[in-house]
C-alpha cells in the first residue's frame, strides 16, 4: 500500500525513480509523484497512474542525482494532485514520501496550527513533514536527522518514510515502523524502496530495514541506526531478481500470465519437497520445529483475503490427515480480540507479500503469547519471513496482478505438503494413503495445464454473464473455501457482486436470491459430497437459476442439468481445490476483460495491504 523509491548516487535519479515507481505501482495507483534535488528541490505530482506522471514530466525541466518518489493508495484525503506525495513542509525545508498512517495526526496538526503552521493537503503525511521542520527550527545544533527522529518520537501509527532536507542535500533519511523498506546497495549509488523488486537490475545487495530502523543514505555510504539513535547491526543479503521475471510476456495482463504460470509454480513449490521416489515429503524450513509441530495440541492459521481462503482449506487438510484441531482466523480480527493461545499452540501465518499489516500484528501477538509461529510466505526476505520461528516459502515468483492467483495455488500446495507430512510423522496416515497422495500430487501440475486449455470455452461462458450484477458460488467441504475464493476473484476484478456459500447453507437464506438472472457457480466434482451437490443443483434449477458447474471429466449427469459446465480432471478429494480454483480464476478474468475493467489494478485495491 503506497510504494516508496529513493535514489542517491552518481547518475541522474529520474530514470531510477520512474522505473521503480512502475514496478511499485501494484502497491497503489491513485496518484504518483517525485521530488528531485538539483541545487534546489523540485516536486512533481499527478493524480492517476505513474504513466500520467511520466507524461506530465516530459514537459517539465528537471534534473538531479538525488530524489524520492511515491505511488499512492489513498488513506487520508481523496486521490488528487494536491494529496499526492511527496509533501513539502511549509517553508520547503523538508520533503517526504510516506507509506502508512499517522494515527495521532489530528492532535499533532492542531499543535502545529497553533504554532503558525498552515497546510495545503488533507493528508496525515503533511503533518509529519511539518513536525520535522518544526523541530529543525528549534536550535542550530539540531540536524535533519535529529529533526526526523524527534518528529517520529511524537507519532503513533505506522510508517515507511524517505525524507529530503533542502538544507542538508547530500542525503536521504529513511525510517520504518510497520511498513516495509529495503536499501539497495549499488556501485556509487544507493536506492531505497518499499519492495526490493523496484530496485531489480540496479543493485544486487540489499539491507531489509527492521521496524524501528532509521538509515541515512549518502552517495558513498550509509548509516543504519534505530529511530531512538541506538546502533543497529547491518545484515546485507544478496538478491536475485531478474527483470525478465517481471514482464507480461505474450499475455495481455499480469493476472492472465500468472494464472497460466500455475503449473510451473506448483512444480517449483513441490521441487525438492515432494519426493515420490522415496515416497516422502521433505520440508527443510520446518526441520527444527517439526517435533513441536507434531505434538502441538492446536494449530491456528491466520491470514487475510485469499490467504485466509487458503487457510480454510489448510484446516480441512490438517484435520483430515493429521487429526490436529485447527482454527482459522482473519488476522484483522485475531489481533484485536485477545485470543486464548497456549505454549503448545502453533500459529501459522499465511501471506503472499509477507508485509500485510494485520498479519504481521497477529504474528507479534502470537509470539508474545508464547506460541510457535510459522510462516507460509511468498516474498523472500519479507518481514513475515524474517520474523517467524520457521517457515516455508511458496516459491510462486513475483506476483504482480493485484488479484492473487498463483500465490494461492502455491499456498495450497504447501498446506497440502504440510498436512501430509504432519500426518506421516503423527502416524495418522497409512503408508499406502501417504504414497498415493504423494504420487497424485506430482501429477497435479499437468492436470492444471489441461484445465488451462479450456480458457476459450470459459471466455464464452463469461461473455454470456458479463452484464449481471450478482452471482453466487457454491461448494461443500474443502470446496467451500474455493467457492469463497472464486467469488472474491469475481468481485475484486469485475466489480460484480459475488458471494460464496457453503452449499448446505443455501436453504437457510441465500436461495431467496435465485431467479433466472442469477448465475450460480457450483463446484460439483466427483467427491464425497457429490450427491449433496447434485441436490443443491436441482434446487437451484427448480428456481430457474443460471447454473455453471465445475464437474469431473466425463460426468454425464450434472452436465445435463446445468446451463454451462467446465470439466476438471479427476484427482483425490484432498487435491481437488488445486484444480477447482483454476476455472474460477479464468471466469473472473474473462468477465473483467469483457467489462473493460482494469484487471491488474482493480479500483480501490492495492497488492500489499501495509496499513490497517
Ligand atoms: C485477493 C488478494 C488479497 C490478499 C490479501 C492478503 O486477490 O490478493 O485478498 O490475499 O490482501 O495479502 P497477503 O497474502 O500478501 O498477506
Q: Please name the fold of domain 3-245.
A: 3.60.20
pTM, two decimals, is 0.88
- Domain spans of the chain, in order of start: 3-245, 248-452, 454-612
Q: How confident is the model at residue 503 (pLDDT cuts 50, 70, 90)?
A: very high
3-class DSSP state of 313: helix
pLDDT tens for residues 175-201? 999 889 999 999 889 999 998 888 988
Cβ pair 576, 271 in contact under 8 A = no
Q: How far is the CA of 559 from the centre of ligand 1 (A)?
A: 33
* pLDDT on residue 607: 76
Instruction: Give the torsion sign (CA, 406, 410, 411, 412).
Output: positive
Cβ pair 257, 251 in contact under 8 A = yes
Q: How confident is the model at residue 242 (pLDDT cuts 50, 70, 90)?
A: low
Q: Which of 548, 584, 264, 245 lies closest to 399, judged by CA?
A: 245
pLDDT tens for residues 95-131? 999 999 899 999 999 999 999 999 999 899 999 999 9
* pLDDT on residue 556: 94
Instruction: Give, to the nearest 10 degrees, the angle between helix 406-426 and helix 576-594.
Output: 170
Q: Which of 575, 586, 587, 545 lies closest to 562, judged by CA?
A: 545
**Whole-angstrom distance, CA of residue 227 vs CA of residue 139:** 20
Cβ pair 165, 366 in contact under 8 A = no
**Residue numbers annotated as active site:** 2, 607
pLDDT tens for residues 569-610? 999 999 999 999 999 999 999 999 999 999 998 888 877 777
Cβ pair 351, 377 in contact under 8 A = yes
**Whole-angstrom distance, CA of residue 348 vs CA of residue 271:** 22
Residue with C-alpha cell 542535500? Answer: 169
Please list every protein residue whose CB sits less than 6 Å from any atom of ligand 1: 304-307, 351-353, 356, 359, 403-404, 488, 492, 608-609
According to CATH, what is the number of the domain 248-452?
3.40.50.10490
The per-residue DSSP string of 114-145 comes to HTT---SSS-SHHHHHHHHHHHHTT-TT--HH
Tell me if domain 248-452 and domain 454-612 are identical in fold. Answer: yes
Minimum-distance ligand 1 atom for the alpha carbon of 408: 10
**Right CATH for 454-612 from 3.40.50.300, 3.40.50.10490, 2.30.110.10, 3.40.50.2300:** 3.40.50.10490
**Whole-angstrom distance, CA of residue 478 vs CA of residue 465:** 26
Q: How far is the CA of 189 from the centre of ligand 1 (A)?
A: 33
Q: How far is the CA of 268 from the centre of ligand 1 (A)?
A: 21
* pLDDT on residue 245: 59
As a whole-number percent, the residues of the chain with pLDDT over 70 amount to 99
Amino acid at each position: 500500500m503506497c510504494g516508496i523509491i529513493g535514489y542517491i548516487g552518481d547518475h541522474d535519479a529520474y530514470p531510477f525513480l520512474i522505473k521503480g515507481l512502475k514496478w511499485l505501482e501494484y502497491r497503489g495507483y491513485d496518484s504518483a509523484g517525485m521530488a528531485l534535488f538539483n541545487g534546489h528541490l523540485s516536486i512533481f505530482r499527478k493524480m492517476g497512474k505513474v504513466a500520467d506522471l511520466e507524461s506530465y514530466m516530459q514537459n517539465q525541466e528537471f534534473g538531479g542525482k538525488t530524489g524520492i518518489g511515491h505511488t499512492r493508495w489513498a488513506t487520508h484525503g481523496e486521490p488528487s494532485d494536491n494529496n499526492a506525495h511527496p509533501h513539502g513542509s511549509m517553508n520547503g525545508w523538508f520533503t517526504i514520501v510516506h507509506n502508512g498512517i499517522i494515527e495521532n495526526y489530528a492532535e499533532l496538526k492542531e499543535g502545529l496550527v497553533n504554532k503558525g503552521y498552515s497546510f495545503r493537503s488533507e493528508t496525515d503525511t503533511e503533518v509529519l513533514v511539518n513536525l520535522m521542520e518544526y523541530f529543525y527550527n528549534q536550535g542550530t545544533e539540531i540536524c535533519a536527522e535529529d529533526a526526523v527522529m524527534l518528529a517520529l518520537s511524537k507519532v503513533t501509527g505506522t510508517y515507511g518514510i524517505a525524507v529530503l532536507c533542502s538544507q542538508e542535500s547530500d542525503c536521504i533519511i529513511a525510517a520504518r515502523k510497520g511498513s516495509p523498506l529495503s536499501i539497495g546497495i549499488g556501485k556509487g549509488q544507493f536506492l531505497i524502496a518499499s519492495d526490493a523488486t523496484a530496485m531489480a537490475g540496479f543493485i544486487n545487495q540489499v539491507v531489509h530495514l527492521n521496524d524501528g530502523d532509521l538509515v541515512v543514505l549518502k552517495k558513498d555510504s550509509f548509516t543504519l541506526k534505530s529511530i531512538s539513535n541506538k546502533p543497529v547491526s547491518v545484515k546485507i543479503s544478496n538478491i536475485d531478481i531478474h527483470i525478465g521475471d517481471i514482464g507480461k510476456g505474450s499475455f495481455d495482463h499480469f493476472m492472465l500470465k500468472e494464472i497460466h504460470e500455475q503449473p510451473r509454480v506448483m512444480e517449483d513449490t513441490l521441487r525438492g519437497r515432494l519426493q515420490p521416489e522415496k515416497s516422502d515429503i521433505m520440508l527443510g524450513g520446518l526441520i527444527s520445529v517439526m517435533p513441536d509441530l507434531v505434538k502441538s495440541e492446536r494449530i491456528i492459521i491466520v491470514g487475510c483475503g485469499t490467504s485466509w481462503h487458503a487457510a480454510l482449506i489448510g484446516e480441512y487438510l490438517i484435520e483430515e490427515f493429521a487429526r490436529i484441531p485447527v482454527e482459522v482466523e482473519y488476522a484483522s480480527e485475531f489481533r484485536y480480540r485477545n485470543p486464548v493461545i497456549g505454549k503448545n499452540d502453533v500459529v501459522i501465518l499465511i501471506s503472499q507479500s509477507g508485509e500485510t499489516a494485520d498479519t504481521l500484528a497477529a504474528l507479534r501477538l502470537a509470539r508474545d503469547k508464547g506460541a510457535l509461529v510459522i510462516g507460509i510466505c511468498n516474498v523472500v526476505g519479507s518481514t513475515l519471513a524474517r520474523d517467524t520461528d520457521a517457515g516455508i516459502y511458496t516459491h510462486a515468483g513475483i506476483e504482480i496482478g493485484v488479484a492473487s492467483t498463483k500465490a494461492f495455488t502455491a499456498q495450497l500446495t504447501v498446506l497440502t505438503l504440510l498436512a501430509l507430512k504432519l500426518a506421516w510423522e503423527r502416524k495418522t496416515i497409512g503408508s499406502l494413503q501417504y504414497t498415493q497422495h504423494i504420487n497424485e500430487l506430482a501429477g497435479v501440475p499437468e492436470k492444471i495445464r489441461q484445465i488451462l486449455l479450456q480458457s476459450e470455452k470459459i471466455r464464452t461462458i463469461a461473455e454470456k454473464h458479463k452484464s449481471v450484477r450478482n452471482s453466487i458460488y457454491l461448494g461443500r467441504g474443502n470446496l467451500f473455501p474455493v467457492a469463497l475464493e472464486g467469488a472474491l476473484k469475481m468481485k475484486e476484478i469485475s466489480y460484480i457482486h459475488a458471494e460464496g456459500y457453503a452449499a448446505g447453507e443455501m436453504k437457510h437464506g441465500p436461495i431467496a436470491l435465485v431467479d433466472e438472472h442469477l448465475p450460480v457457480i457450483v463446484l460439483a466434482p466427483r467427491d464425497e459430497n457429490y450427491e449433496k451437490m447434485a441436490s443443491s443443483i436441482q434446487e437451484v434449477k427448480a428456481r430457474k437459476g443460471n447454473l455453471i458447474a465445475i464437474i469431473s471429466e466425463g460426468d454425464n449427469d450434472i452436465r445435463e442439468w446445468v446451463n454451462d459446465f467446465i470439466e476438471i480432471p479427476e484427482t483425490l478429494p484432498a487435491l481437488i481445490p488445486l484444480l477447482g480454483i483454476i476455472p474460477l480464476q479464468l471466469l473472473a478474468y474473462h468477465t473483467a476483460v469483457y467489462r473493460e475493467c482494469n484487471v491488474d489494478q482493480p479500483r480501490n485495491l492495492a497488492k500489499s495491504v501495509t496499513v490497517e
